[in-house]
């Protein structure tokens, strides 16, 4: 095709295209060629979102089942997922489930009545919530900053975890002794007491905090303290905590209850 032929071909092609365009309103829109992005958008993006949701749910179940190696932050791609979980209904429903099952177990206990039947509670993310702090720090997607976290702790403003407060009151009313065992440092004792009372927790038998022994794992520290508690004659019939390190090790409770916490891991 010579140069003149090419010009004629282009003119005829353009005229045909214009005519098609002029008749466009009479055509079935489903038959029109569509840009690929339209075919790709909604269903595909929804599937991608489902994939992330499935992946992050799987990760969260692995966290709760204690199947993961120690981890320092949540997976980056799960930041929105964890935020939705924490702020939506799921987290609270999970906490209510643990509280309810713990309460059923507590009521089933045959207490000796000698004042030595005990229930151990962790504090952070078990009795009171640091969610206001974590909502400002990426719901666990940022590396833990102990200086900033200590500032938050010193405000003494952590709210009660309501289902845990309900369980706490039930356990008290049954006549069990309450022992609070926390990884908080001893120098936070006063603010911890103030915060607990402000959140609605008013009575306990012991409040055990950590000394300056940070080289020890939380699991080792809590095992050691549970051993001391049992050596005093207490029978630890129940234990509630948001970390496996609250619950496992030695001198374990007769039954342990794990509260959900996908935001951080303490070994
Ligand atoms: Mg905790």
What CATH superfamily is the domain 88-258? HAD superfamily/HAD-like (3.40.50.1000)
Question: What is the distance between the alpha carbons of residues 71 and 265, in angstroms, rounded to a whole number?
Answer: 6
Q: Are 255 and 61 in contact (CB under 8 A)?
A: no
Alpha-carbon torsion, ordered 154, 155, 161, 164, to 10 deg:
40
Helices and strands in the chain, H and E counts? 11, 5
The pLDDT assigned to 247 comes to: 98
- Ligand 1 geometric centre to CA of 242 (Å): 5
The pLDDT assigned to 194 comes to: 98
- Ligand 1 geometric centre to CA of 113 (Å): 29
- Ligand 1 geometric centre to CA of 4 (Å): 82
- Ligand 1 geometric centre to CA of 175 (Å): 24
- Ligand 1 geometric centre to CA of 234 (Å): 22
Give the residue extent of every domain in the chain.
Answer: 88-258
- Ligand 1 geometric centre to CA of 127 (Å): 8
The pLDDT assigned to 215 comes to: 87
pTM assigned to the model? 0.82
- Ligand 1 geometric centre to CA of 243 (Å): 6
- Which residues lie closer than 8 Å to 250 by C-beta, 6 or more apart? 223, 226, 227
The alpha carbon of residue 186 and the mean position of all alpha carbons in its chain are separated, in whole angstroms, by 26
- Ligand 1 geometric centre to CA of 126 (Å): 6
Question: What is the distance between the alpha carbons of residues 73 and 23, in angstroms, rounded to a whole number?
Answer: 58
Q: What is the per-residue burial (b if ≥16 Cβ within 10 Å, else e) of 240-258?
A: bbbbbbbbbbeebbebbbb
- How many CB atoms are closer than 10 A to CB 215? 6
- Ligand 1 geometric centre to CA of 260 (Å): 10
- Ligand 1 geometric centre to CA of 14 (Å): 71
- Ligand 1 geometric centre to CA of 26 (Å): 66
Ranges of the chain with pLDDT below 50: 1, 3-4, 7-8, 10-42, 45
């Amino acid at each position: 095709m010579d140069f003149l032929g090419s010009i004629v071909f282009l003119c005829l092609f353009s005229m045909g295209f214009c005519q098609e365009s002029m008749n466009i309103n009479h055509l079935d829109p489903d038959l029109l060629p569509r840009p690929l992005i339209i075919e790709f958008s909604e269903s595909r993006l929804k599937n991608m979102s489902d994939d992330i949701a499935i992946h992050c749910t799987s990760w969260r179940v692995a966290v709760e089942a204690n199947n993961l190696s120690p981890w320092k932050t949540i997976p980056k791609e799960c930041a929105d997922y964890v935020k939705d979980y924490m702020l939506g209904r799921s987290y609270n429903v999970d906490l209510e489930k643990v509280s309810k099952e713990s309460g059923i177990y507590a009521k089933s206990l045959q207490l000796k009545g000698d004042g030595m039947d005990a229930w151990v509670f962790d504090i952070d993310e078990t009795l009171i919530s640091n969610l206001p702090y974590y909502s400002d720090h990426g719901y666990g997607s940022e590396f833990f900053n102990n200086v900033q976290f200590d500032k938050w702790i010193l405000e003494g403003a952590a709210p009660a975890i309501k289902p845990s407060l309900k369980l706490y009151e039930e356990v008290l009313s049954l006549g069990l002794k309450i022992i609070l065992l926390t990884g908080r440092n001893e120098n936070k004792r006063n603010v911890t007491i103030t915060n607990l009372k402000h959140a609605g927790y008013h009575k306990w038998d012991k409040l055990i905090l950590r000394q300056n022994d940070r080289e020890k794992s939380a699991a080792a520290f809590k095992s050691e303290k549970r051993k001391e508690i049992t050596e005093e004659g207490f029978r630890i019939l129940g234990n509630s905590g948001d970390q496996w390190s609250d619950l496992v090790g030695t001198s374990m409770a007769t039954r342990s209850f794990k509260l959900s916490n996908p935001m951080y891991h303490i070994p």
